[in-house]
Structure 1
Amino acid sequence: MRFFGSRGDSDTGAGEELRSLASPLRAPADLEPLVEQAADARFVCIGEASHGTHEFYRWRAELSRRLITEHGFTWIGVEGDWPDCWRINRWVRNRDDHDLDARDVLKHFHRWPTWMWANEEVADFLDWLRDWNSNQPSERQVSFYGLDVYSLWDSLRQTISWLETNAPEALPAAHQAWQCFAGYNEDPHSYARSLRMVDEACEDDVVELLVHVRRLAMDGVPAEPEALDAALNALVAADAEHYYRSMVLGNRQSWNIRDIHMADTIDLLAEHHGEHSKALVWEHNTHVGDARATDMADAGLVNVGQLVRERHGGDGVVLVGFASHRGTVIAAERWGAPQEVMTVPEARAGSHEALLHETLGESAVLVFGPERSGPWLDSRRGHRAIGVVYHPRREAGNYVATVMGGRYDALLWLEETTALRPLHREGPPGEPELDTEPSGF
């Protein structure tokens, strides 16, 4: 049922098209059109327009709950580190840390920005997910994985631990890889900077380790969770080395290395869970929305949404974006700085967000349908993307030129949003991970 009336001058037929696509978003039951669209897909990728907004996390969790309980989705992959999320996975499946609650488990996230995952919104969802899994047989429990590439030393450490028990004959290769990195004090920036002076990377050692572990742990699809953990940690180690080596060159390929790694990890997890498994992917809009419908493509960049569509379009893929008009957000003024609550100004004139506000005036669900063509869906406008570093006074750089009908299959629109609720303040300022193109999301 649609409640939107005319709100004055909207761009030609774009406003009329918007009203025809939108239905109000006020309660979880209002997600029904989107739930119906996503129900039969094998991959549903759900974005966020910032890493610091309560409503984006809340509605993503509500949609995920419905797809898990009503349509049998079986695993979640998030824009987080594999070792940290593996611990969460063990906890939500009642394998480890029985005496802890979700907030205790999330305290183990130490890499800046911790607020991305160590927040009340994620804790509430994980508490729910653990309760859900407690009432399911093992084969129906929902798993929770990290897809990202940053955990070089943690992943090497976990790989060596697995080899000590399961394949001691492969330890020489593992120790060779560790020794190659040992002089950098577990600091990826120190490793990257060293390559500016001496062209001696650890690539060969890490790739050799990956070959060993993948052959040992992934001979076919690994049945044992510990083997999956080892294989994915080895993959992270190899791709992280490649990522940091590319970063020091100052080119944009580091973005592609990272997103290809995340897409490859999705493929491995889908294989692990079997052809009937159904996945939820939680990442920033900049990763989830198809890069071919943005100016990212002009720069030669790819992303997770594009790759999942290209690799799995026949299995059913739904990409869901978020957008908002104004509010507050958790972000930082510079890399490594403490988080703070910042004001998100009203959307810039001519942007998708401005048109949505002018036309609808309230939060809404927009499901695009199969045709994806029309005055608004085909128009190319700026679409706001807020990173973990944000400067509200310099808003122009936060808009990505986007054709909505190509970038997403659906959009959740929020008129006004509020800041995420971190579980704790960041620790003393330290050097964070190097930022990535296009804007460090």
Structure 2
Amino acid sequence: MMISLLRITYLPLILLFSFGQLHAQDQTSVIIENLNQVIRPIGSLDPDSGFKELEFLKTGLKSKRIIALGEATHGTHEFFQYKDKLIRFLVLELGFRAIAFESDFVSVEYLDEYINGKQQEMMLKNGGFPLVAETKRMLIWLKAYNMEKPMSERVHIYGLEARGFAGVIRELLDAGPDLPEEIKAEMVRFWKKEYALLTAADISSIKGMLGVLRAAKLPEVSPKKNYQYQINLLEQQLIRYGKENRGYRDEYLAENVSWILENTPQKQLVLWAHNLHLYKGTTNGFPTMGAHLQQKYGPDYYVIATDFNHGNANVFVKEGKGFSLKSVYYPELMKPKSFEFYFKQCKFKNFVLDVNEAIEIPVLHSFFSKKHDMRLIGGQEQPAVYPLVVAKNFDLILYFNETSANK
């Protein structure tokens, strides 16, 4: 009798649970079915293989002022390889001539000299740029392209910030031989000291020199040798020192994007950075670089994000008191709370998803207007996922089901 009562009691709960599962499965099937209507297959990842799957973008992107190329990790082969392809597409098909990287300004300046024939070696003097096999191949292509063009039609590349103080201070010292000797000596002491060991007194001392440096009226030869701009980078880094989670970095990155954009002849820019800097929301309660750019440029700011389901990436892993660069495997995301759960079930393993086109379909508008987790891994191992609303933050997604670490 008791067993019968238990069966009667729990039967409705079992049926309700089963119905819920079936409903969830139906919803998943509907989402995937609609995704399959709008996704376009990615063909060869080889940058030399042509732009067939990107041709549909030509009309819409030609008038954009900033086209941002994102990456879900800083260490994925497929992302860097395909971003090389996108760079070539934007240069060859749409005439873009300026590219800014989430990298050190001085380091990228040397690489710009390489692609413009002023340096014979691909030098990386101050770190801060992912000089790996994939980006080396891109730089070699850019150099070959530039060597066939007059100066007015060549591509230039820029770094968006100062990484540490050494690079900018060396540049300022080289540019300002008439600075007072005591100022020079203090600047030399400052850039030779280990970044992590700088004291409040050190920071205060160099802040006090900013006025002297500005008054020295160092030359403004070009956007590539604008020393007043480099003083701005130095000041930004001083303000940021020890305050990494207060939104300063993204605010300054956005300021620097605008400065570079306005100092390029065409007033158009390709922007290369991590997805989380490019997306149009907030992190830790502060606007991202993308949020600042969206506010200023509106629809002229266009974000292409990258995403993956599983695979390896080169990231910095904490070991004792320091970090080591290692290849880390990220397993499949198995739960419906992640976008990748749906993407991995689509008919193409790798695909292009035009978000603005997709949200015209009611089912997908609802799906992309809700917060789900997405792969967003920076230079370090964690965090691995980040909750966001795709419809508000990205315009296009490049999805790769399985990835490998960069070379």
Normalised-by-shorter TM-score class: 0.7 to 0.9
What is the aligned partner in structure 2 of residue 179 from structure 1? Answer: 186
What is the aligned partner in structure 2 of residue 332 from structure 1? Answer: 316
Q: 1:368 aligns with which of 355, 359, 364?
A: 355
Q: How many residues align?
A: 370
Structure 2 stretches of 5 or more lacking a match?
Answer: 1-24, 45-50
Q: 2:272 aligns with which of 263, 269, 282?
A: 282
Query: Is this contact kept in 2: 1:320–1:411, CA < 8 A?
Result: yes
What is the aligned partner in structure 1 of residue 154 from structure 2? Answer: 141
- Could you give the per-residue CA deviations for residues 308-348 of structure 1, whole angstroms, max 9, x where no partner exists? 2212226x221110100011111121275332222121124
- Counterpart amino acid of residue 358 in structure 1: Q
Deviation at 1:237? 1.1
> Where has structure 1 moved over 4 Å in runs of 4 or more?
370-373
State the distance in 1 between where 2:136 and 2:203 align.
42
Query: Is this contact kept in 2: 1:43–1:280, CA < 8 A?
Result: yes
Tell me the TM-score normalised to structure 1 length: 0.77
> Structure 1 residues 37 and 416, CA, compared in 2 at 3 Å: closer, same or farther?
farther
- Could you give the per-residue CA deviations for residues 89-139 of structure 1, whole angstroms, max 9, x where no partner exists? 1111112x23x2x4xx24x4546xxxx612000000000000000111111
What is the aligned partner in structure 1 of residue 291 from structure 2? Answer: 306
State the distance in 2 between where 1:184 and 1:225 align.
23
Bigger shift: residues 331-340 or 261-270: 331-340
SS state of the match for residue 262, structure 1?
A: helix
What is the aligned partner in structure 2 of residue 94 from structure 1? Answer: 117
Query: Is this contact kept in 1: 2:162–2:168, CA < 8 A?
Result: no
State the distance in 2 between where 1:199 and 1:224 align.
31
- Counterpart amino acid of residue 224 in structure 1: S
Deviation at 1:76? 0.6
Q: 1:224 aligns with which of 204, 213, 222?
A: 222
Deviation at 1:376? 2.0
Deviation at 1:64? 1.1
Query: Is this contact kept in 2: 1:15–1:359, CA < 8 A?
Result: yes
- Could you give the per-residue CA deviations for residues 27-46 of structure 1, whole angstroms, max 9, x where no partner exists? 34212234443222111010
What is the aligned partner in structure 2 of residue 201 from structure 1? Answer: 204
The structure with more radius of gyration: 2
Query: Is this contact kept in 1: 2:207–2:235, CA < 8 A?
Result: no
Deviation at 1:188? 2.1
State the distance in 1 between where 2:108 and 2:182 align.
25
What is the aligned partner in structure 2 of residue 431 from structure 1? Answer: none
State the distance in 2 between where 1:153 and 1:81 align.
11
- Counterpart amino acid of residue 35 in structure 2: L
> Structure 1 residues 324 and 175, CA, compared in 2 at 3 Å: closer, same or farther?
farther
SS state of the match for residue 375, structure 1?
A: helix
Query: Is this contact kept in 1: 2:173–2:184, CA < 8 A?
Result: no
Report which structure shows greater RCO (CA 8 Å, sep ≥6).
Answer: 1
SS state of the match for residue 88, structure 1?
A: helix
What is the aligned partner in structure 2 of residue 239 from structure 1? Answer: 236
* 2:40 pairs with 1:23: yes
Deviation at 1:73? 0.4
The 5 Å alignment of 1:6-405 reads 9=26, 11=28, 13-27=30-44, 28-95=51-118, 97-98=119-120, 100=121, 102=122, 105-106=123-124, 108=125, 110=127, 117-164=130-177, 168=178, 171-172=179-180, 176=183, 179=186, 182=189, 185-191=192-198, 194-195=199-200, 201-202=204-205, 204-209=207-212, 211-212=214-215, 216-217=218-219, 222=220, 224=222, 227-228=225-226, 230-247=227-244, 252-253=245-246, 256-274=247-265, 276-292=266-282, 296=283, 299-313=284-298, 316-334=300-318, 336-349=322-335, 350-369=337-356, 372=359, 374-390=365-381, 397-405=383-391
> Structure 1 residues 206 and 246, CA, compared in 2 at 3 Å: closer, same or farther?
farther
State the distance in 2 between where 1:371 and 1:309 align.
20
Query: Is this contact kept in 2: 1:364–1:414, CA < 8 A?
Result: yes
Query: Is this contact kept in 2: 1:51–1:388, CA < 8 A?
Result: yes
Tell me the TM-score normalised to structure 2 length: 0.83
Query: Is this contact kept in 1: 2:96–2:269, CA < 8 A?
Result: yes
* 2:393 pairs with 1:407: yes
Query: Is this contact kept in 2: 1:287–1:304, CA < 8 A?
Result: yes
Identity, in percent, stands at: 20
> Structure 1 residues 362 and 210, CA, compared in 2 at 3 Å: closer, same or farther?
farther
| Root-mean-square deviation over aligned CA pairs | 2.6
Query: Is this contact kept in 2: 1:72–1:278, CA < 8 A?
Result: no
Query: Is this contact kept in 2: 1:109–1:117, CA < 8 A?
Result: no
SS state of the match for residue 50, structure 1?
A: coil
Deviation at 1:290? 1.2
> Structure 1 residues 377 and 150, CA, compared in 2 at 3 Å: closer, same or farther?
same
Query: Is this contact kept in 2: 1:366–1:410, CA < 8 A?
Result: yes
SS state of the match for residue 318, structure 2?
A: coil
Query: Is this contact kept in 1: 2:106–2:159, CA < 8 A?
Result: yes
